[in-house]
Structure 1
Amino acid sequence: MNPRLVFMPVLTLLGLLIFAAVSAIGATERPPNIVIIFTDDQGYADLGCYGSESIRTPRLDRMAAEGVRFTNFHVAASVCSASRASLLTGRYSSRHGVRGVFVPGNNGLSPGELTLAEFLRPRGYATACIGKWHLGDAPQFLPTAQGFDTYLGIPYSNDMYVGPSQAWADNATFRDGWTRERALEAQSFVKNNVANRAAIEAKGLRDLVPLMEGQQIVEFPADQASLTRRYFDRALDFIDRASADKKPFFVYLTPAMPHVPLFASSEFLGQSPRGLYGDTVEEIDYHVGRLLDHLAARGLDENTLVLFASDNGPWLGKGDATGSAGTFRDGKFSTYEGGLRVPAIIRWPTRIPAGQTSDALVSTIDLFPTLARFTRTPLPDRALDGHDLSAHLLTPSAPFASQPYFCMNDGQPVGVISGPWKLLPHGGKRNLSPETPPELYNLTDDPGEKTNLASAHPEKIRELKALLHIFSNSL
């Protein structure tokens, strides 16, 4: 059974009118530019507009004031690779097959999956991936094989190491005493120990990551303190080139920060009251402001949709290098709200009303069908798990019927949110046990998931288990 049919919303007359208005956007009008900024391991409460008193983010706060700030926005998985695959495909990990985290030399996102870049490029979009990829580092998995015209970035998390099969540019830069010969020796060691990460880390190779352009390493080890600036510099340059070519653009911009190890440039190092973690977030904030100013200066901002969000909740247990989920429980790797609920802001001047706050239950998987609507591109002939949010974005204050959201762990649906209710049949920890009794929360009354209501509402458990059963059978 197709879950998109099972959970199709009942459109009100107002919803139909809004839907018609979106569809009526002139077919000859230039499609919108799209910029997605997806940070790494940033907690829900790590922006000023989300309650942080120690991390100063004036430009993102302003972006929120100029657009929609979401308070109930969820990623499709609480871990890097699976989360990113879902954003780019509009599908839960049970469908796209990315279950957790890829390490160098692992598999990657199947080339048979359709990414947003592959979807938009036939529509005439220039497409760029800039920053962390983390969906496979072999040539067939890299961004330029998955619909992106250009790529600059680290192909996985910044705490990893050189991959076993990556090619080296003839003019690659080697830093900190490294030479090509030494780097090739390290790569050979990784290749011979690809299944033994402990041995690779014991060799001292951890945190020494390559910077790739296209499908070649151009810098090793990457100068991580300068990456945030360089990523945004490249994005601005790409925007200018696409505009000169009179093409709409899709920029997928994914800073390495604030994933550990933390790095900030000299301009921001030691400036935040929140320490190095705050330095990294405040640096991202500054460059988001640069990007928005650049769009305005080029006359592009009124036709550019910009999304800012994090790929999952904070990686707890890292001391001062840990972000904050605020009042929400737990963090990265868990299916509690601290792992899945993230800050999210969408800005599109003249189209999305400014100064709005949405408490609608929405997710990164909803971006694919939403952008399809805004770009007037027919949906692909494959199962999508997301739902079109265009009507809600154009009128955030109008009634909105949220659809059930499924909590994923290791590629399997292990929980569900429907309305205010959240069911975790075996709890929300990273390592689930069938012996763990069910947990039921009313997120409206108890967003911190402190009071398990399972014993008081057996009928609600049956109802939510039925939703999980229907969804599981649809896969």
Structure 2
Amino acid sequence: MKTKFMLSTLLAFPALSHAQTNFIIILTDDQGYQDIGCYGSPLIETPNLDKMAEEGLRLTNFYVSASVSSASRAGLLTGQLNTRNGVKGVGWPDSKGLPTDKITIANALKTKGYATGCFGKWHLGDLDGYLPTDRGFDYYYGIPYSNDMYIGYTHKFSPNCVFTEGYNLDKALQDQQLVKRTKNKAQLKKELNYASPLFENKEVIEYPCDQATTTYRYFNKAMEFIGKNKNQPFFVYLTPSMPHVPLFVSPQFKGKSKRGLYGDAVEEIDWNVGRLLDFLEKEGLSENTMVIFTSDNGPWLGMKENGGSALPLRDGKFSAYEGGVRTPCIIKWKNHIPAGKVSDHIIASIDIFPTLLELAQMDKSKYDLDGITLTKFISNPDNVEPRDRYLYVKDGKIVGIRQNDWIYLPQTGLRVTPKGNFEQELFNIRMDIGQKSNLFKKETKKAQEMEQLLQQQSH
């Protein structure tokens, strides 16, 4: 059943003047809410992202559709909640991913003549028919899932594949046979020691991938793609493998950050964002290119010093609390988005698809979307409120709702009563950003209102 959204404001947008706006989405992996200087990181220095925020719009209530990678990416690329897009959790090698009947942003923009490229982590299926070039992208370069996984036994090697770390084709094929006969994922990760395949389009071109250079290479390939396609509209989906564990950085950044290896990885991403923005400016593309920077979900707190921080939010990756699903988001579009703006309006990753469609002057009514358009909001963030509510989804099920400052979580799965039922939780996020005080028993009337609202939205 389709999830219904009751929007606080129905917006009618005027005709837009830029039929050929370019779009770049930079989506990092497991980067926490606090892990950027302008979001309050005390030890990680991100001058380029901070400058991007100074020249654009910084969102403080930006939500991804899930607190794990595959599901979050599916929400962004389809504009649908994970109750409907067919991806509920995390994909593994040799698996299907996003159902083939789902339309991605890349699929849609290609019909308008956009060149489409994906660079980095995909994580929406690595079997034939599910890779980026099967899902609307003209070109793909990257590791097709998390960098702590292993090669799939179905993957095909390019005739020109580069083998590293003493590997040759025979040894690589032995790894694939081990994967085929071994069902224990933890054992495979240990035995293969994070030997990841680097893909170009549908073939492995490097094995094991030199992960210390991936961040730099992903950005380089993206800029090469832009350079080749700058005379037509383009959509670039740039998804660094970092700062997901295992952490890797180039020698230039190793030991540079006061936040250890995790900070090194984030600071390397920041430096490359600066390179990309400078490249757009040099090529005369800044005024016609919208750049969005965000993370797929909250930090992997179990990794301790190798994980990030969501402070002052509660919890992190895997969780329905704010630290799991609220991530940093910065949007820059020179001379179109007011500079230096900070907004606490409720915005979601599922809103990106319809927004890009509208900016490309496409008919969004042809697409089955849960998100809403942000066109008026990004041009006037002080006076336009796109939505007053948002649904929380975990494992493909609705587990809570936010309306304005109130968050109701009747089944977080994190707290269970002695009778085995989920503890119902109610928070006022403006008064209690860390979700430390459960007001469910104290604010009974508000709890009932939120329960009724949740029931309405779930049918």
TM-score (norm 1): 0.93
Alignment partner of 1:197 out of 160, 185, 194: 185
1:438 aligns with 2:424: yes
1:202-221 matched pairs, under 5 angstroms: 202=190, 204-221=191-208
SS at match of 2:302: coil
Give the aligned partner of residue 218 of structure 2: 231
Alignment partner of 2:128 out of 132, 139, 156: 139
Q: Is the 8 A contact 2:6 2:457 kept in 1?
A: no
Q: Is the 8 A contact 1:75 1:342 kept in 2?
A: yes
Q: Is the 8 A contact 1:89 1:114 kept in 2?
A: yes
Offset, 1:259 = 0.2
1: CA distance, partners of 2:235 / 2:54:
23
Give the aligned partner of residue 114 of structure 1: 103
2: CA distance, partners of 1:288 / 1:390:
24
1: CA distance, partners of 2:416 / 2:280:
44
Offset, 1:427 = 3.0
2: CA distance, partners of 1:411 / 1:190:
28
Give the aligned partner of residue 49 of structure 2: 60
CA distance change for structure 1 residues 130 and 430 in 2, over 3 Å: closer, same or farther?
A: farther
How many pairs align?
458
SS at match of 2:229: helix
State percent identity of aligned pairs: 48
Give the aligned partner of residue 37 of structure 2: 48
2: CA distance, partners of 1:70 / 1:76:
16
Offset, 1:428 = 5.4
AA of the residue aligned to 1:201: K
Q: Is the 8 A contact 1:409 1:430 kept in 2?
A: no
Offset, 1:471 = 2.8
Offset, 1:460 = 2.0
2: CA distance, partners of 1:57 / 1:33:
25
Structure 2 unaligned spans of 5+: none
Q: Which has the higher helix share?
A: 1
Offset, 1:8 = 3.2
CA distance change for structure 1 residues 156 and 380 in 2, over 3 Å: closer, same or farther?
A: farther
CA distance change for structure 1 residues 129 and 401 in 2, over 3 Å: closer, same or farther?
A: closer
2: CA distance, partners of 1:190 / 1:467:
47
Give the aligned partner of residue 157 of structure 1: 146
1:330 aligns with 2:308: no
Alignment partner of 2:159 out of 160, 170, 188: 170
Offset, 1:189 = 1.5
1: CA distance, partners of 2:129 / 2:40:
42
Give the aligned partner of residue 288 of structure 1: 273
**Structure 1 range deviating more: 112-121 or 369-378:** 369-378
Cα RMSD after superposing both structures: 1.7
1:298 aligns with 2:287: no
AA of the residue aligned to 2:209: A
Q: Is the 8 A contact 1:335 1:430 kept in 2?
A: no
Alignment partner of 2:398 out of 389, 413, 427: 413
Q: Is the 8 A contact 1:88 1:368 kept in 2?
A: yes
Q: Is the 8 A contact 1:334 1:430 kept in 2?
A: no
Q: Is the 8 A contact 2:372 2:386 kept in 1?
A: no
1: CA distance, partners of 2:246 / 2:2:
42
AA of the residue aligned to 2:432: D
1:259-298 matched pairs, under 5 angstroms: 259-298=244-283
CA distance change for structure 1 residues 227 and 431 in 2, over 3 Å: closer, same or farther?
A: farther
**Structure 1 range deviating more: 180-189 or 456-465:** 456-465
AA of the residue aligned to 1:236: M
Q: Is the 8 A contact 1:78 1:311 kept in 2?
A: yes
Offset, 1:437 = 1.7
1:464 aligns with 2:450: yes
Give the aligned partner of residue 376 of structure 1: 361
AA of the residue aligned to 2:217: R
AA of the residue aligned to 1:44: Y
AA of the residue aligned to 1:262: L
2: CA distance, partners of 1:110 / 1:178:
34
Structure 1 unaligned spans of 5+: none
TM-score (norm 2): 0.97
Offset, 1:133 = 0.2
